[in-house]
Amino acid sequence: MSRKFFVGGNWKMNGDKKSLGELIQTLNSAKLDSNTEVVCGAPAIYLDFVRSKLDQKLGVAAQNCYKVAKGAFTGEISPAMIKDCGVHWVILGHSERRHVFGESDELIGQKTAHALENGLCVIACIGEKLDEREAGITEKVVFEQTKVIADNVKDWTKVVLAYEPVWAIGTGKTASPQQAQEVHDKLRQWMKANVSEEVAKSVRIIYGGSVTGGTCKELASQKDVDGFLVGGAALKPEFVDIINAKA
């Protein structure tokens, strides 16, 4: 079963209308591999702006959402609001949400369930911290995180799993292609044992953590690496090179 290569750009809390407008122009005019699905994660306040300017063949994602449709939740946004802006994706469980803002596995699971029930597609993030890798508990950590997500998913065609070793995010350290492949392979085995063989074969597992134009081709050649979630490099013209990693 062939899995369509997927490249997400997570712009995080960066950009303004001028700089994002220039980035959008670059993406709209670039020759992008048509076999790659591209989704740009914009700051919530710019979702409408980005969706109106970005070529329709490229997707847009919110970087977070809440677990209910509306109500007295100051500062939050709901899947219904995201969809109202013409946006169809949301990033959930990013390590910065987990470790900077203290989101629990349970909350991320609830958000995942609500987003999917309301018709959004989800980029669900998992990954171990440096002390966890050094303690040899990478698998334990990512399997626990994956289980909470999996318990809340009915339709896996709407989910992309993003493995992001926390020690590699924004540090300039990248997991070696072999390290990434090893965890992706273990995740696929976990899916086979705990979800189904069909889902294990079809679900896209993408890698995140200091992906650049220089590292993307070798990472993309690994058989269980189905794409990337790109941070800093997604704000630069080299994002085009990463999108075209398989071309």
pLDDT digits (tens, 9 = 90+) for 30-87: 999 999 999 999 999 999 999 999 999 999 999 999 999 999 999 999 999 999 999 9
**In 68-104, alpha helices (H):** 79-84, 95-99
| pLDDT recorded at residue 1 | 59
Tokens for 137, please give them: 């508990």
- Who's near 104: CB < 8 A, 6+ residues apart? none
Residue in the block written with tokens 């540090």: 171
- 230: enclosing H helix or E strand: strand 227-230
Give tens-digit pLDDT for 97-134: 999 999 999 999 999 999 999 999 999 999 999 999 99
105-117 and 138-150 helices, crossing angle to 10°: 40
Cβ contact 160:121 at 8 Å = yes
| pLDDT recorded at residue 179 | 95
Q: Is 164 a catalytic residue?
A: yes
Q: Which one of 94, 114, 128, 184 is the catalytic residue?
A: 94
Backbone angles phi, psi at 123, to 5 degrees: -95, 105
- Structurally, what CATH architecture does the domain formed by 7-244 represent? Alpha-Beta Barrel (3.20)
For the chain, what percent of residues have pLDDT higher than 70?
A: 100
Q: Which one of 37, 96, 132, 164 is the catalytic residue?
A: 164
Other Cβ atoms within 10 Å of 184 Cβ, number: 20
Q: Residue 171 — very low, low, confident or very high, per pLDDT cuts 50/70/90?
A: confident
